[in-house]
Chain A
């Protein structure tokens, strides 16, 4: 942990990161996913297949089974005759739309908690650490299910947009990782002479936290954001897989895979499963390789 703290300047680091092969591969993969998310409506317009539009006549056989890949449906169709390719592209939107805000929210909460807990030892630290323990010890999925159940108004309609709810649920768990990381960093930094020097110059504690400690914590936290993002993307997919994430018929990779599995239709139309499966893999792999490339540069070893 010491070397990211002592690394000089920003721009040489950025250049080093771009020279790192794994970071480059990751950037290409993630770039492709972002492009897919942006171009999803274009693909829908070009093929004439809306993401939730059913083409029972064209895409299902007489026995009602989905067709495989063909000139019209590149990835074939799902059990309801919807275009798997178009839905996979729309799924990228949900993944990023949930993953990025959830991770960012978790970063903000966790960093704030970690800074305070790390800088004020004793009672404050113990209290916040207890809070972290409590959040960590809740079983994620069961609690998420309860929270989704909570999200029902008197008329049975959701009180909150399910996407927003999923973001909140994920960040409610994910902040703990940031809080622990930041707290441990700050505990070390707090003892460093430059912090004491600032205090003996008469700087207020708020100024010391903001001007002396935060700049040293931030680069590490940003790298960690990239580490946590793929984890949270997988959490979203898991929730959707279990049927408590983004609600049907909105396309999410998790719920597409769940449908494929539940109906066993992937055994006749493998792309029903492979489309969202590969997309998921590419996205998570992309972010993982970026973060490992960044880590190689910041923490060579």
Chain B
């Protein structure tokens, strides 16, 4: 990777930027004394976990924060300080000289305006253009960002676009005036891994053809490893390390950078000892599972699952991977007994407990206890109004006749198992961190000593360092308690780290199944290969 040693004048440089938010009578500092710069045509990556102030500092530098925020320092763009610039002149810079791409393309596009109108507005905000000329320019832009059949799709609303297409439309807006700089705030985080790869390719191509500089904000060092020239690592509102990318990946100076890098990397390396392919006794079998929904107000049905068969062995951790829409969560919900399948059945130790029928699933209490579920969203999976102690006592109150004293002892034991302090019992979920909440959810699932726990994306809402801790906890619980896990994830890295066997799903079908080592090293199915090739950072740094 070329290193910038010539003293080029930076295109955009942030100097000693600080941001404070006032909330009622409190004030808290989100960004402290941050400086960085990007040169024309180069890529700067700003990396940090949630709450590190990485997005806030860029929004502050371009005047996009709400007025409640107090911004100090400077943000020089071609010699003009954008901090404190009046609204009219700031507007002349934004969209024309600096383009923006944000994280979640659905919430960032106006739901009631067509894609074409929104892109057109990016043009007309700075230029008077006739209607016909505007339309042809919009179509050109859509073509440039790789939207096929642009003329037909231009009048669609964002709701009719897929996630990747929406993000392409966002990029089309950003490049409408061929700006010298694009600020991309986590542009691929909400996307599937193969889509993420294609968006990254698109950004790189645009950068090459137009010589655009790019500031790429991300939580993931692996994602930016392929594109960054320089990297700034942020933590708790401050810069902890700034270095050219090659240096930083080769020899991270700060311990926090090393920790981030380790977390980004650990999933990418497969354990060396493949171990003998022992075949454990089958615990759970899903046979010929099909699931069809009828969408509201429509006649046609959507097939979420199309004949899926798989097993989970005793004391085994099986990974279920696939992109959004592959049907992996539907399998989890069928196994957990939350919905009935349209066809097929699931059996626990050869005892069928969930099969097609009318109404909600009726499952005998013993199987109910034996199969439990942990959800992705650590905010939604705990009742916000009940204290942790009450939440953890619930399984015992519902299923056992233990005395209050015995329940208290059981709950204390659970909390200890998931490595939480006993003090959490008196807290409400909102007083816990995401990782702590997920530990509580795991404890609740383990309360009734289940044989199988369905873990539906249990770590994907967590910061990368917390993810590693939860994965370690799950592995240890399996070893200590002998619980089997059906681990549903879109993240091949985590799966390769935790699971013994993996089932790869695509569009409701199993495309490949086998031991993790074999599947990931020698994928047989083209889709699995594409998934593996899309893992960011795989080429350069693993």
Provide the residues of chain B in CB contact with A5, threshold 8 Å. 384
Does any Cβ of B come within 8 Å of A70's Cβ?
no
Given A193-B375, A194-B380, A203:B431 Cβ within 8 A = no
Smallest CB separation, A301 vs chain B (Å)? 11
Beta-carbon contacts under 8 Å, A209-253 to B: 211-212, 215-216
Which listed segment binds A: B162-170, B247-255, B393-401, B411-419? B393-401
A200-B373 in contact (CB<8A): yes
Chain A: minimal CB distance from B446 (Å): 12
- Given A197-B441, A201-B399, A202-B399, A8 and B430 touching (CB < 8 A)? yes
**B378: nearest chain-A partner, CB-CB:** A193
Q: Which residues of A contact B219 (CB under 8 A)?
A: none
Chain B interface size range: 20 to 34
Does B290 sit at the interface, judged by CB under 8 A? no
Q: Which of A34-93 contact B (CB under 8 A)?
A: none
Tell me the smallest distance from the CB of B375 to a CB of chain A, in Å.
4
A216 to B380 alpha-carbon distance, docked (Å)? 12
Q: In the bound complex, do residue A207 and residue B398 qualify as a contact, i.e. CB atoms below 8 Å apart? A: yes
Q: B383 to A212, Cβ gap below 8 A?
A: yes
Contact A202 B365 (CB under 8 A): yes
Q: Is B89 in contact with chain A by the CB < 8 A criterion?
A: no
Residue in A7, A9, A193, A200 whose CB lies within 8 Å of B372: A200
A6 adjacent to B430 (CB under 8 Å): yes
B346 at interface (Cβ–Cβ under 8 A)?
A: no
B447: chain A residues within 8 A (beta carbon)? 201
B450-492, CB < 8 A from A: none
Task: Judge whether A196 is part of the interface by a CB distance below 8 angstroms.
Answer: yes
Shortest CB distance B381–A (Å): 4
Q: Is the CB of B394 within 8 A of A201?
A: yes
Select B395's contact among A192, A194, A201, beta carbons within 8 Å.
A201
From known contacts A196-B373, A202-B369, infer whether A215 and B428 are also in contact, taking CB-CB under 8 Å: no
Cα distance A9–B386 when bound, in Å? Answer: 9
Whether B385 contacts A216 by the Cβ 8 Å rule is yes
Contact A200 B368 (CB under 8 A): yes
A200–B334 Cα gap in the complex (Å)?
Answer: 11
B382 and A194 within 8 A (CB): yes
Please report which residues of chain A, range 1-46, place their CB below 8 angstroms from some CB of chain B when the two chains form the complex: 5-9
Complex partner residue of A196 from B338, B384, B394, CB under 8 angstroms: B338
Taken together as a complex, chains A and B put the C-alpha atoms of A230 and B426 apart, in Å, by 38
Residues of A participating in the B interface, judged by any CB pair closer than 8 Å: 5-9, 192-194, 196-203, 207, 211-212, 215-216
User: Can you show 8 pairs from A to B with CB atoms below 8 A apart?
Assistant: A8-B428, A193-B377, A196-B375, A198-B383, A200-B336, A200-B338, A211-B394, A215-B385
Which 9 A/B pairs are nearest by Cβ-Cβ distance?
Answer: A193-B375, A193-B381, A215-B385, A8-B428, A8-B430, A202-B368, A193-B380, A194-B383, A201-B395
